[in-house]
């Protein structure tokens, strides 16, 4: 029977780079909003919009990952069933 191994293919450096980029962009946005020559209402709106965008990105990434993992699991089950049926019909 075939074996499937699902492993993370990202390197530690790529993982670290992603978190550093996220941190820098987040800090950059906050500093930009703080120093912007605008009313407090506009700054609040931009900050809330940015935070909503960030949380939406995390949610979307999780949903896409979960769907991909679910499809891999379903394909693994279907492959195992097919192999079992082929083995049983061969004997």
Residue 77, in any domain of the structure: yes
Q: Whole-angstrom Cα distance, residue 23 to residue 28?
A: 8
Average pLDDT across the chain, whole number: 85
Q: Helices 12-35 and 40-90: crossing angle, nearest 10°?
A: 160
Q: How many domains does the structure of the chain reveal? A: 1
Which residues have C-beta within 8 Å of that of residue 29, sequence separation ≥ 6?
47, 50
Residue 72's domain comprises 12-90
Residue 1, in any domain of the structure: no
Is the overall model pTM greater than 0.75, yes or no? no
Residue 48, in any domain of the structure: yes
Question: pLDDT-derived band of residue 90, with 50, 70 and 90 as boundaries?
Answer: low
Query: Whose CA is closest to 51, among 29, 31, 73?
Result: 29
* pLDDT for residue 2: 44
pLDDT in tens, 31-74: 999 999 999 999 999 999 999 999 999 999 999 988 888 877 77
């Amino acid at each position: 029977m075939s074996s499937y191994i699902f492993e993370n293919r990202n390197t530690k450096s790529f993982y670290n780079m992603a978190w550093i980029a996220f941190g820098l962009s987040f800090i950059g946005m906050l500093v930009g909003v703080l120093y912007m020559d605008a009313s407090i209402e506009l700054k609040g709106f931009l900050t809330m919009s940015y935070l909503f965008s960030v949380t939406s990105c995390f949610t979307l990434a999780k949903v896409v990952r979960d769907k991909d993992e679910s499809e891999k699991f379903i394909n693994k089950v279907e492959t195992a069933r097919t192999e079992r049926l082929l083995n049983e019909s061969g004997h």
